Each structure stands twice: as C-alpha cells, then as structure tokens.
Structure 1
Amino acid sequence: MVLDRLSQEGFKLSLDKCRFCRTSVTYVGYIVSGAGITTDPAKIQAVVNWPRPENVGELHSFLGFCGYYRRFVEGYSCRAKALNSLLRIYPSETGQKTHSAKQPFGDKWTPECDQAFHDLKQRLTAALVLAYANPDQPYILHVDASLSGLRAVLQNNT
C-alpha cells in the first residue's frame, strides 16, 4: 500500500536501494528508530579522534561538525562560547583580512577554550536519544523570547 501511494504521488523508488522491516534507519548522520533519534556512531567517531584545532580554519571545521549535532548537547551555545569568542578575534573571510585562516592561535587558545573543546567532544560522544513525544506523559514547556528570536523546548517531566 505504501509503494502504491508513493507511486500515485509521483515518487519513484529503486527497489534494490530500499530496505524493509528494519527497526532503525541511518539518515543524514542520524539513527532513527522507534525509541527516537540519536547520532550516527560512525560520524561521532570522528569527534573522538579530533585533534585540538590549531587555527581558525580547523576551529571552523570542528564547530561546524559539532553544530550539526547541537540538539544533542544541552546548553550547546554556552559550552561553545569560548570557542566562538576565539573566532571573533579574527576578521571574517569577507572583511578586511589581517590574519590567515592557517595562522596558529598561539597564546590566544586559553584554558577555557581547551575546556570547551574537550567538553563538547565528551558530550557529543555520550549523546542521548531524542525521544518522541508521548501524549500520555506530562511535559514541561520551556520558552524564551527576545526582540530577535523565540525558542521553545517541550521536555518530558520524568
């Protein structure tokens, strides 16, 4: 019935690429299952072996990778603050460039940067499962708003 419906809606499937009767599916860096959504261990293994960034280019790569999985790290913005602050020292690629993306950080890499780097690595490798909402359970709605944004999180009370 599913294949017929997809065909009616104009979707074309290659049956040799389809997998049926699976309890979980890997999709764009996530594992989706009946329990919820979690990070793909094959992708997260890269974080385990990630060396400390030595320059702006390497830090951008690390933060870009971590940012993709930020929803799995509670308080991601606060935890990455020291690293993002370090990027503000250097001008953007579109602005007037006085430092190379390959220039070493040197003494600008502080103990706070080191702590943030290791904290993000640890939290990403121990990422939780984002569970689906259960309408039979109580929830807490956390909201925050400002003139430029709005955020809400629906959190299970257990």
Structure 2
Amino acid sequence: MNRSKLRSFLGHVGYYRRFIKNFSKIAQPLTQFLKKDVTYEPGNKAHEAFEQLKEALVSSPVLKNPDWSKPFIVYTDASDAALGSTLSQKDENGNDHPIYFGSRQMSSAE
C-alpha cells in the first residue's frame, strides 16, 4: 500500500471515528507511515490495525441519543500513543449504551 492509498483509507475510516472506540489508538501503527521520512513496511502491527479498523466499520456499536433526564458516565483511557473517551448512559437494565466516542493521538511533545 502506498502513502496516498493509506492516507485515503485513513481519511475514509476517520470520517466514522466517533463510532469506533479507541480509533486513534487502533490507527496509530498506520498513521506513523504518513510521515515523510518513514517508509511503509507492512508488519504485524500495521496489518492488524488495518484489519481491526475494517472490522470496526462493520461491527461498531450503535450510538444512542442522550436521555437528558439520566446521568451521564464518562470513561477515559490513555496510553503513550493515544487518548480515548466514551460518553455513555445506563439503560433500564443497567447496561451501558455509548453516546459518543472520542480519541486522538498524542503529539511527540506530549
């Protein structure tokens, strides 16, 4: 896969990032190849990230509309490479339902 095709794939998948939990963390092995001085060498992590993003597009949970009368729950997660968050609410049975997923990659300064 060349840099142009990879950029196109990540752009298309990135459009749906709010539906994919931990999008930035999953995409990180691929986004490193968008840098000018890095040559794309398909490896296990990059291939796994590619497959994981494809699978997430077809199997992501359905986001629910918020119920303003119920409390919100915020989950956060961080690694050395990315930050992630989920906004959810519990239903009548006590099950979490996602309302929004947020994520971003860490910059080199962070």
Please give the TM-score of this superposition, normalised by the length of structure 1. Answer: 0.47
Task: Structure 2: state its 5+ residue gaps.
Answer: 78-83, 96-110
Could you say which residue in structure 1 is the equivalent of 2:26?
Answer: 79
| Structure of greater Rg | 1
Deviation string for 1:110-133 (max 9, x for gaps)?
Answer: 110000000000011112221111
From 85, 92, 114, the equivalent of 2:47 is 114
Could you say which residue in structure 1 is the equivalent of 2:107?
Answer: none
Q: Please tell me the residue identity of whatever aligns with 1:121.
A: K
Change (3 A) 1:126 1:152: closer
The 3-state SS of whatever aligns with 1:117 is: helix
Change (3 A) 1:122 1:141: same
Instruction: Write the mapping of 1:24-103 to structure 2, written as runs, cut at 5 A.
Output: 54-88=1-35, 90-91=36-37
The 3-state SS of whatever aligns with 2:61 is: coil
Report the RMSD for the aligned CA atoms in angstroms.
2.5
What is the CA–CA distance in structure 2 between the aligned matches of 1:130 and 1:112, rounded to whole Å? 28
Equivalent pairs counted in the alignment come to 85
More strand by share: 2
Aligned-residue offset at 1:109:
1.5
Change (3 A) 1:152 1:78: closer
Please give the TM-score of this superposition, normalised by the length of structure 2. Answer: 0.65
Aligned-pair identity (%): 32
Q: Please tell me the residue identity of whatever aligns with 1:81.
A: Q
What is the CA–CA distance in structure 2 between the aligned matches of 1:129 and 1:58, rounded to whole Å? 28
Could you say which residue in structure 2 is the equivalent of 1:129?
Answer: 62
What is the CA–CA distance in structure 2 between the aligned matches of 1:112 and 1:152, rounded to whole Å? 23
Task: Structure 1: state its 5+ residue gaps.
Answer: 1-53, 92-98, 145-150
Deviation string for 1:81-119 (max 9, x for gaps)?
Answer: 00001222x25xxxxxxx9xxxx84xx111100000000
